[in-house]
Amino acid sequence: MSATIVRQKPLMTMRQVLLMNLGFFGIQYSFGMQQTAVNPIYTMLGANPDEMPLLNLAGPITGLLVQPMIGAISDKTWVPKWGRRRPFLLVGAIGCSIGLFLFPFAAAVWMAVLLLWLLDVSNNTAMEPYRAFISDKLPPSQLAKGFLAQSFFTGLGITLANVSLYLFKSLLGEQALGSGIPYWVMSAFMLGTVASLVTVLVSVISTKEIEPSAEELAEMKKEKLSLGGMLKDIGSAIVDMPVQLRKLALVYLFQWYAMNCYWQYVSLSVAKSAFGTKDIHSAAYGDAVAWTGLVNGGYNVVTFCVAFALVAMAKRYGAKYVHTSCLLIAAIGLAVFPHITNKYLLFVPIIGLGIAWASIMGVPYIMAVRMIPSTRYGVYMGIINMMIVIPMLIQTLTFGTVYKWIGNDPGNAITFAAIFLAIAAVAMLWIKEPPIVKDVDDLSEQPGN
């Protein structure tokens, strides 16, 4: 007869959950700097706008390869005193800190590209084990709280990264390093250097991992990590993938292609429309970059404010219609955005993107988890991650050419993003949403009663 194994997992308090996730703030600050400051630095170092997609190749490639690989390696790791996931969080945070520290000193485009690869590899090294850290520590009933805390710190980290660019510019003025990169950009990177390391350290020190039993350790040593096994798992999950999840992949194709276009061309678009310059070496372009940071911070603030309301609306009206509406609002906002010449008015259409970003980060997942068994969350989360990075990779490889077709105009790139978001919204309507789950308190009509 097989033995029964019994374990107990204590529930965590909100304070413990927040401390455990604090490190996500630092990692997301680093990601926020990548979103807003890296492309302007490329242009300051002399890169052409149509080269932007290729210069950003690191993001999708590392997302596609590094995240699942590190996730699988950390599953088979146990370092006494350090644990299973924490070594990866620390290594990732140290890499982010080094990358952020060195970035403002890049004197040529190739140096900035190498540093972006370091940043992306480090971000991804920390990101996947961080998600698994939550799954390891929290019982299934608290997982939603854990992931919600991660979303909270995602918003906070990216917002602060964007706002810090504007604040440092106001404080430090126009003085620049020899390479032409201003001190205010450097200061925002230095803040990121400290934030990513310190916040991860706080999480690592304050949260102990659950030690595996002797049997589990023996099992871990016995099971060798194999690339073949990993690929087989992914392959069988793709074969078994529910039809509705395949339709979500189509939505993601347009949605993430559009988001990448926005991030890559928003600074140039704001410079052209609201600051009246195409000269990347002008003071006005520096002002536009800082203002874009504020605009991006603005949409992340909207994201904060509406995230919880959207979750409640998705439960009431269905995730499908909520996400469709959010994408359409963003499409309208982005269609208007490049035509606005008053920099203050830019905050109005960007509200739409903030609402859509809140939806993108949460609402499709509410639907996806009802389509897939939670015993296979790990592999399907990896596949959903691929559904994000593959469109980004396609955008990276194709948009340089598209950009030429649309007249080398950054405003047109934003309009293109708006059209793709609208297509994603229409594709969303094709999905047949699984039923919405009732709550246990609504049990008045028991079949047995």
**Where do contacts with another protein occur on this chain (CB under 8 A)?**
1-11, 139-141, 370, 372-376, 434-443, 445-449
CB 328 within 8 A of CB 422: yes
Question: Measured between alpha carbons, how far is 360 from 92 in angstroms, rounded to an integer?
Answer: 25
Check: CB of residue 297 under 8 Å from CB of residue 159: yes
**175 vs 239 by CB, closer to another protein:** 239
Q: What is the largest CA-CA distance in the chain?
A: 79
Question: Residue 243 or 437: which CB sits closer to another protein?
Answer: 437
- Least separation in angstroms between CB 54 and another protein: 42
Report the residue number, 380 or 416, with the smaller CB distance to another protein: 380
Six-digit token pair at 207?
């949260």
Least distance CB 19 / another protein (angstroms): 17
Minimum distance from residue 71 beta carbon to another protein (Å): 19
What is the smallest separation between the CB atom of 152 and another protein, expressed in angstroms?
A: 22
Beta carbon of residue 439, minimum distance to another protein (angstroms, whole number): 7
User: Of 50 and 75, which CB lies nearer to another protein in the complex structure?
Assistant: 75
DSSP state of 39: H
Residue 315 CB, shortest distance to another protein, in Å, is 12
Intra-chain end-to-end CA distance of the chain, in Å: 38
DSSP state of 407: T
176 DSSP β-pair partners: 182
How many Cα atoms occupy the beta-carbon half-sphere of 335 within 13 Å? 11
Closer residue to another protein in complex, CB, 407/442: 442
Query: How far is 350 from 332, CA to CA, in rounded Å?
Result: 10
Q: State the minimum distance, in angstroms, from the CB of residue 442 to another protein.
A: 7
State the nearest-atom distance from the C-beta of 237 to another protein, in Å: 12
Structure tokens at 203: 């999480």
CB burial class (10 A; 0-12, 13-18, 19+) of residue 7? exposed
Identify which of 274, 330, 323 has the alpha carbon closest to the alpha carbon of residue 302.
330
Q: Tokens 């994408």 label which residue?
A: 327
Q: Do the beta carbons of residue 387 and residue 44 sit within 8 Å?
A: no
Q: Tell me how far, at minimum, the Cβ of 438 lies from another protein, in Å.
A: 5
Using the minimum distance from each CB to another protein, give the nearer residue, 253 or 384: 384
Distances (CA, A) of 416 to 107, 149, 329: 32, 33, 15
Nearest CB to another protein, comparing residues 1 and 227: 1
Decide: 362 and 151 in contact? Cβ < 8 Å: yes
- Please say which residue, 175 or 449, places its beta carbon nearer to another protein: 449
Q: Among residues 278 and 315, whose Cβ is nearest to another protein? A: 315
**DSSP H/E element including 84:** none
What residues have CB less than 8 Å from 309, skipping those under 6 apart?
none
